[in-house]
Amino acid sequence: MSSKPKVAPFVRPARPRPSLAGIAGLPARDRAYHDLRYRILTGRLAPGTTLLETELAALLSLSRTPVREATIRLAEEGLIDIRPRHGVTVRSLTLNDVRDILDVLSALEIRAVELVAKRGLGPEEHGRLLHMLDRMERLTEAGDIAQWSDMDDDFHSAVAGMCGNGRLLSALDEYWGQQYRPRTMIVPLRPKPTLSNIEHRGIVEALAAGDPEAARLAQQRHRARADQQQLDLLRDRLADGAEGA
């Protein structure tokens, strides 16, 4: 039951929360990549941290070769900067960086939602989404914003996962990773996400109705508002003296 189906599933999970699950058997270069990414996203490697290739290799108990290959990937994803002879530095994002990232991310997510609507929702999928919405509303009432935020990730991830476009999902993953840290930074500042819950319902309705235009509009408005809120909160947080996002 818990194992993989024989054919590639039409629906694929996207953007799992940062985790190191299942990297055990992978080649060293992939372990290095996932390990470093995990440390960066969870803050174990704080923004601004600078390490030499040699130090990274020692940290991961590997030689420089796989570590280099991993850092190249991470640099392309925008998580680190490589400055030759100065080491690799964990990127610290400015407000403008976050805005840029969110602009890309929301464009991709809007397209994903359109695609899902174009194909419509199966009953099982619909049920799953509704169930998530219920949970999120209960969490809102209970005031558990942290867990609501995780579920929010899961919800958007679940919807996107139904779009059937693997390249789109990969791109979403990448940019989601880039905004993960600033996003978690402002969780404690969030007000009750009552509006988000309502907007989520609207999105699911449009998806179930198979109406791409309505879905696009709902998703666009939701993201525009939510992203603006995130930027505002982040600005406050940074003004408070928190360093690097």
How many CB atoms neighbour CB 212 within 10 A?
18
Under rule CB under 8 A, residue 110 binds a copy of itself: yes
Under rule CB under 7 A, residue 4 binds DNA: no
Query: Closest distance between DNA and the C-beta of residue 174, in Å?
Result: 21
Inter-residue contact 154 to 132 (CB < 8 Å) = yes
* Integer CA distances (angstroms), 119 to 115, 122, 130, 177, 234, in order: 6, 9, 18, 27, 36
Please list every residue from 153 through 182 that binds a copy of itself, using CB under 8 A. Answer: 165-168, 171, 175, 178
**Residue among 61 and 96 whose Cβ is closer to DNA:** 61
Among positions 67, 108, 139, 245, the unique one binding a copy of itself when judged by CB under 8 A: 108
Under rule CB under 8 A, residue 145 binds a copy of itself: no
* Integer CA distances (angstroms), 125 to 119, 162, 168, 220, in order: 12, 8, 19, 21
Under rule CB under 8 A, residue 86 binds a copy of itself: no
Considering Cα of 117, then 133, then 38, then 21, what sign does the dihedral take?
negative
> End-to-end alpha-carbon separation of the chain, Å?
40
Inter-residue contact 50 to 71 (CB < 8 Å) = no
**Residue among 70 and 102 whose Cβ is closer to DNA:** 70
* Integer CA distances (angstroms), 158 to 16, 35, 228, in order: 10, 24, 23
Q: Name which of 59, 42, 14 is nearest 70 in CA terms.
A: 59
- Give the x/- contact pattern for a copy of itself in 29-68, rule: CB under 8 A: ------------------------------------x--x
166: partner contacted, choices DNA, a copy of itself, none (Cβ within 5-8 A by kind) = a copy of itself
Stretch that binds DNA, among 8-16, 52-60, 102-110, 133-141 (CB under 7 A): 52-60
Q: Name which of 197, 195, 184 is nearest 245 in CA terms.
A: 184
Under rule CB under 8 A, residue 103 binds a copy of itself: yes
Query: Closest distance between DNA and the C-beta of residue 88, in Å?
Result: 7
Contact residues for a copy of itself, defined by CB under 8 A: 65, 68-69, 72-73, 76, 78, 100-101, 103-104, 106-108, 110-111, 115, 165-168, 171, 175, 178
